[in-house]
């Protein structure tokens, strides 16, 4: 939200993107009458009616999900909830954590058995970025993946860096799918999963020397060996939805300190070691929540 709030003109511009002309015209008339009568407090109330969810992701998603449910129920003559769980958000550090989280999300349709490769799932950021989408060349999706893959190097949303980011991203997912980097075909059978798990387990037990193939995060010296990264991308990881904060130990502890009032007085620090299926990332990626059950 801009400092000092948004002007009447900016508010109406934003409302036109999501509301009908009739609704916006009514708001415009109310604001004009309030300003003309010197009713500043009333004008502020009109603003708050719509701006309370601006720059608030939770409120925005709540509205989107509610409207989607109403539309779907109306179209299909049904009642009740449409979504299995409530919306959740996680704070993610740039670098290894951001790349891992992005790849984990784009591998969801593969993990669910819907497609054999994330590039074939048209509603994912990766499928949009590679396929170009239905409205252009997938610029927005490419910008987001550039940010996820290269933000630790100072990159923003420069779409011209897509080729560089695409190589990094495809390599990550290729490892998880046990394919060569750049390959976009082939299925992942149970034998391959088992073999990758065994190789990964051995690497975790014997890899005492620095791994020359490790994925390094330059800004805070975080390293996650490729096999470890591949292993955690294979499974559903509850930390990635319920962990609250994901990143290096220093990053999680800093976020904890900035939000100290949200935690109990007994808690001394924020970083919690990952367990269960996320154990491959233990001591590298940390979580703000200690998920003892069903991790």
Distance of CA 145 to the CA centre of its chain: 11
Res. 196: pLDDT tops 60: no
In this structure, the answer to whether residues 111 and 64 fall within a common structural domain is no
Is residue 84 situated within a structural domain?
no
Residue range 145-169: mean pLDDT, rounded: 86
**Same domain (yes/no): 70, 152:** no
pLDDT above 50: residue 50: yes
Domain that holds residue 233: 91-287
Same domain, 96 and 57: no
pLDDT for the residue numbered 224:
67
Phi then psi dihedrals of residue 152, to 5 deg: -70, -15
Count of CB atoms within 10 A of residue 290's CB?
Answer: 14
Which of 22, 49, 76 is a domain's end point?
Answer: 76
Chosen domain end from 18, 53, 76: 76
Query: Looking at the structure, do residues 128 and 264 belong to the same domain, yes or no?
Result: yes
- Count the Cβ atoms, other than its own, within 10 Å of residue 177: 25
Residues 161 and 263 placed together within one structural domain of the fold: yes
Is residue 130 assigned to a domain?
Answer: yes
Question: Based on the domain organization, do 194 and 239 belong to the same domain?
Answer: yes
Can you tell me the distance from the alpha carbon of 222 to that of 246, in angstroms, rounded to the nearest whole number? 13
Long-range pairs, 47-55, Cβ under 8 A, ≥24: 47/5, 47/6, 47/11, 50/11, 50/14, 50/15, 51/1, 51/5, 51/6, 51/11, 54/1, 54/6, 54/14, 55/1
Please give the structure tokens belonging to residue 256.
């904890």
Q: Are residues 281 and 185 in the same domain?
A: yes
Rounded CA gap, 238 and 251, in Å? 20
Give the integer Cα–Cα distance in Å for 26 and 48. Answer: 16
Tokens of 32: 């004009």
Position 225 confidence tier, pLDDT thresholds 50, 70, 90 = low
Structural domains of the chain, count: 2
Mean of pLDDT values over 166-191: 64
Q: Is the pLDDT of residue 218 over 70?
A: no
- Does the pTM surpass 0.75? The reply is no
33, 136: one domain: no
Average pLDDT of 197-205? 43
Same domain, 161 and 243: yes
Are 140 and 159 within 8 A, CB to CB? Answer: no
Mean pLDDT of the chain: 80
**Range list of β-strands (E), the chain:** 91-92, 215-217, 222-224, 245-247, 272-273, 286-287
Answer yes or no: do 28 and 134 share one domain: no
Nearest Cα residue to 194 out of 178, 213, 210: 178
Number of H helices, E strands in the chain: 13, 6
Distance (Å, whole) CA 295 – CA 292: 6
Instruction: Compute the distance between CA of residue 129 and CA of residue 140 in angstroms, rounded to an integer.
Output: 8
295 lies in a domain? no
Structure tokens at 106: 């784009």
Buried/exposed 18-51: b ≥16 CB within 10 Å, e otherwise: eeeeeebeebbebbeebeeeeeeeebeebbeebb
Q: Which of 10-24, 41-55, 189-203 has the lowest mean pLDDT?
A: 189-203
Q: What confidence score (pLDDT) does residue 95 get?
A: 84
Domain limit, last residue, from 76, 109, 127: 76
**Token pair in block for residue 114:** 């819907």
Claim to verify: residue 132 and residue 263 sit in the same structural domain: yes
**Residues 71-117: pLDDT tens digits?**
999 999 999 888 888 888 899 998 889 888 999 999 999 888 898 88
- Answer whether residue 293 is part of any domain: no
């Amino acid at each position: 939200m801009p400092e000092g709030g948004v002007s009447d003109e900016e508010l109406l511009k934003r409302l036109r993107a999501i509301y009908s002309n009739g609704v916006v015209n009514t708001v415009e008339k109310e604001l004009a009458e309030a300003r003309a009568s010197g009713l500043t407090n009333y004008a502020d109330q009109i603003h708050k009616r719509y701006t309370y969810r601006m720059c608030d992701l939770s409120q925005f998603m709540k509205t989107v999900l509610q409207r989607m449910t109403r539309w779907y129920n109306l179209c299909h003559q049904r009642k009740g909830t449409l979504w299995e769980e409530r919306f959740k958000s996680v704070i993610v550090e740039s670098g290894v954590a951001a790349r891992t989280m992005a790849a984990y999300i784009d591998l969801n349709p593969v993990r669910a058995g819907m497609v054999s490769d994330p590039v074939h799932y048209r509603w994912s950021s990766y499928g949009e970025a590679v396929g170009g989408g239905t409205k252009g060349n997938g610029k927005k999706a490419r910008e987001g993946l550039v940010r996820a893959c290269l933000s630790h190097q100072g990159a923003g949303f420069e779409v011209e860096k897509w080729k560089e980011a695409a190589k990094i991203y495809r390599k990550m997912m290729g490892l998880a799918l046990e394919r060569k980097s750049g390959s976009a075909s082939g299925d992942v059978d149970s034998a391959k999963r088992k073999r990758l798990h065994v190789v990964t387990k051995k690497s975790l037990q014997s890899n005492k020397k620095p791994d020359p193939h490790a994925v390094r995060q330059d800004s805070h010296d975080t390293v996650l060996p490729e096999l470890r990264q591949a292993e955690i991308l294979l499974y559903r990881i509850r930390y990635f939805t319920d962990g609250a904060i994901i990143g290096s130990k220093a990053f999680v502890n800093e976020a904890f300190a900035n939000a100290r009032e949200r935690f109990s007085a007994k808690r001394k620090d924020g970083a919690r070691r990952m367990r269960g299926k996320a154990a491959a990332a233990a001591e590298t990626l940390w979580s703000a929540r200690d998920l003892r059950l069903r991790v």
